[in-house]
Amino acid sequence: MKFLVISDLHANLEALDAVMEDCSGEEFDQILLLGDLIGYGADPNAIVDRVRTWSDHVTLVRGNHDKAAVGLESLDSFNTMARTAAEWTGRELTGANTDFIKTLPEGPVAITAEFEICHGSPLDEDMYILDSRSAGLSFRASNSVLTLFGHSHVPSCFVETRDQPFRSNIAFRSVEQLTIEASSRYLVNPGSVGQPRDGDPRAAYMVVHWGAERHAEWRRVDYDIETAAGKIYSAGLPRILGERLLSGR
């Protein structure tokens, strides 16, 4: 099977359009969406409308910004910028799109017996996997060979073998491929479509091949950042939310 993996769209329609155009000549069995459809960006309804059209072709989990924007989670842990964006998003969402976001499942969600997706970690949907300690806790919370996660906005891979788990920080500048060995276990982040934070402003996504041969490909694509940022400024959202798109931070 072949999966298109996207995460952390954050209401950035220009970035999502670029990703879908970049892989438009390929056929996928399913789209996997790792949460945070909304928050930060200026196109929450357009993003949710698009995802809803994918219907049976998508498996997805909710993210912390999804929950916060529709009142399923307190904003107390959000900084001022994120809180302002969440409140704005909640006001902008249509009733139908609010209801859709409220139905998104909590991760992890199994794709196969050996393959799952989540937003933060299989241990806690809001937990960041950032280092060997958090990766080790996440490995112990799961039996999957491959867990795809988002939340940090940084393309990364943690591999557990017979030794201690180790971490590889990756800022991909071109197509990179990971072979998934049956003797190891993997925690893999595709990076963020709508708000990359690894210093590369291009939209990040992933393609996973899962069959006799198993591998994952990290990909990057340019998009119209100026338009996406301009929409944020016009909406009256915190200006830094547009400015940070230019630097990928």
pTM of the model: 0.93
Please check the confidence at residue 174 and state whether its pLDDT lies above 50.
Answer: no
pLDDT of res. 160: 86
pLDDT of res. 166: 56
pLDDT of res. 141: 94
Q: How far apart are CA 28 and CA 30, in angstroms?
A: 5
Q: How far apart are CA 101 and CA 85, in angstroms?
A: 16
Q: Which long-range contacts (CB under 8 A, 24 or more apart) does 225-234 make?
A: 225/14, 225/201, 227/14, 228/12, 228/13, 228/14, 228/15, 228/41, 228/42, 231/41, 231/42, 231/43, 232/40, 232/41, 232/42, 234/42
The edge-to-edge listing of strands for the beta sheet with 166-169 is 109-112, 115-117, 146-148, 185-189, 156-160, 166-169
Domain that holds residue 48: 2-247
Q: How far apart are CA 132 and CA 176, in angstroms?
A: 22
How many Cβ atoms sit within 10 Å of the Cβ of residue 4? 23
pLDDT of res. 55: 87
Pairing state between β 30-33 and 2-6: parallel
Please check the confidence at residue 236 and state whether its pLDDT lies above 50.
Answer: yes
φ, ψ (nearest 5 deg) of residue 207: -120, 130
Number of domains into which the chain is organized: 1
Average confidence score pLDDT of the chain: 93
pLDDT tens for 132-164 read: 889 889 999 999 999 999 999 999 988 888 665
Q: Which long-range contacts (CB under 8 A, 24 or more apart) does 128-132 make?
A: 128/152, 129/156, 129/158, 129/187, 129/189, 131/167, 132/158, 132/164, 132/165, 132/166, 132/167
pLDDT tens for 20-56 read: 999 999 999 999 999 999 999 999 999 999 999 998 8
249: three-class secondary structure by DSSP: coil
How many Cβ atoms sit within 10 Å of the Cβ of residue 53? 9
pLDDT tens for 57-112 read: 999 999 999 999 999 988 888 999 999 999 999 999 999 999 999 999 999 999 99
Q: How far apart are CA 117 and CA 98, in angstroms?
A: 23
Identify whether the C-beta of residue 85 lies closer than 8 Å to the C-beta of residue 75: no
CATH number of the domain within which 176 lies: 3.60.21.10
Instruction: Give me the residue label for tokens 């991909």.
Output: 172
Read off the amino acid at residue 164: Q
